[in-house]
């Protein structure tokens, strides 16, 4: 929105530049999908071709599925991301409400800690958490993948900012009706905060579906691999040079989020930017 519309020349130039950029942005995806359809022999010819001469899509995808428990990896990813998000709402939403609407000793201190926490990436706390989980005997479990993210200072911060804008009258009315504070959180605040919760949910699912660092550290058995670990493992052990099969595996891992994104682009972009303001 830099003012008025462009002239025909400038308009055409805009498309030329943006299309060139779009080709670069998209080419790895196109290359991935097309290669996943090709037999190894065609990939090894080292010719720049687009569509395969002989379609090997079914065998490539079937190979992935039979050689590693890809379904299990996807299921693990779904279990872990869904559990993380459910716990995050359960733990952080009440805390955000308390910070926004209740008066209690230590509120300022707690909020200061939340603000500090916003700056700390998981990489900085990974070693101590790993040692803690080692002693608790829960490395290599779903719990190890989920628990460190049950707390999201970012979720607290974001929901608190949202609750600050909710009028006190709404809460007072509920109190007069005899609704308990916990009832207010789940029956009054949660419904009004749905847009913020959705945005946070998208952010959370994207971040944890794609996370590689923490699962790499916390998980050692194949049965518990999340999709990123699964595809990295597959590259290392089974399909390192079978490029068609490897690209099929990559396509499978990327698909769920990309499909969701294409179906609800606006929400995704809003969710990720709204929440992406985190460092």
Partner 1 sequence: MTPLVKPAQDLHHAYRRRDLREALAALALAGPASALIFVFLIAPLVCIALLSLTDYQLGAKALRFVGLHNYSEMFADRVFRRSLENTLIYVSVVVPLSVGLGLGAALLIEAGESLRAFYRTVYFLPVMATLIAMAIVWEFALHPKLGLVNLALKSVGIAGPDWLHDRHIVLYTLAGIGVWQSVGFNMVLFMAGLQAIPRDLYEAAAVDGVSNAWDRFRTVTWPMLGPVSLFVIVITAIRSFQVFDTVQVMTKGGPNRASEVLLYTMYSEGFEFFRTGYAAAVTMVFLAFVLALAALKTWFLDRRVHYA
Write down the least CB distance from residue 22 to partner 1, Å: 5
Q: Quickly list DSSP for 196-251.
A: HHHHHHHHHHHHHHH--HHHHHH--SGGG--HHHHHHHHHHHT-SS-HHHHHHHHH
**Residue (51 or 262) nearer to partner 1, CB:** 262
Phi-psi region of 114 (alpha: psi -120 to 50; beta: other; left: phi over 0): alpha
**Residue (48 or 54) nearer to partner 1, CB:** 48
**Residue (86 or 277) nearer to partner 1, CB:** 277
Look up residue 10 and give its two tokens. 């400038």
Q: Which residue stretches of the chain are H helix?
A: 8-36, 40-44, 57-67, 70-101, 107-117, 122-136, 142-146, 153-164, 168-176, 181-183, 190-192, 194-210, 213-218, 227-237, 243-263, 265-276
DSSP state of 120: -
Write down the least CB distance from residue 14 to partner 1, Å: 5
**Residue (41 or 58) nearer to partner 1, CB:** 41
Write down the least CB distance from residue 107 to partner 1, Å: 7
**Residue (26 or 58) nearer to partner 1, CB:** 26
Write down the least CB distance from residue 9 to partner 1, Å: 12
Write down the least CB distance from residue 164 to partner 1, Å: 15
């Amino acid at each position: 929105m830099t003012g008025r519309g462009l002239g025909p020349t400038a308009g055409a130039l805009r498309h030329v530049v943006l299309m060139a950029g779009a080709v670069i942005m998209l080419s790895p995806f196109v290359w991935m999908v097309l290669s996943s359809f090709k037999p190894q022999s065609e990939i090894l010819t080292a010719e720049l071709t687009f569509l395969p001469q002989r379609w090997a899509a079914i065998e490539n995808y079937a190979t992935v599925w039979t050689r590693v428990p890809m379904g299990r990896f996807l299921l693990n990813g779904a279990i872990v991301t869904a559990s993380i998000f459910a716990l995050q709402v359960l733990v952080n939403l009440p805390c955000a409400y308390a910070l926004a609407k209740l008066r209690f000793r230590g509120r300022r201190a707690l909020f200061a800690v939340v603000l500090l926490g916003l700056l700390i990436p998981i990489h900085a706390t990974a070693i101590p958490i790993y040692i803690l989980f080692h002693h608790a005997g829960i490395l290599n479990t779903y719990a190890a993948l989920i628990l460190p993210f049950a707390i999201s200072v970012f979720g607290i911060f974001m929901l608190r900012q949202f609750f600050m804008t909710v009028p006190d009258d709404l809460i007072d009315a509920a109190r007069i009706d005899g609704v308990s504070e916990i009832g207010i959180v789940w029956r009054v605040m949660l419904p009004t905060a749905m847009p913020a919760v959705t945005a946070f949910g998208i952010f959370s699912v994207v971040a944890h579906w794609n996370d590689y660092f923490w699962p790499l550290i916390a998980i050692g058995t194949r049965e518990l691999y999340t999709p990123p670990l699964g595809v990295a493992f597959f590259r290392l052990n089974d399909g390192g040079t079978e490029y068609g099969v490897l690209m099929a595996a990559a396509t499978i891992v990327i698909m769920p989020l990309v499909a969701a994104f294409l179906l609800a682009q606006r929400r995704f972009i809003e969710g990720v930017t709204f929440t992406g303001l985190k460092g």
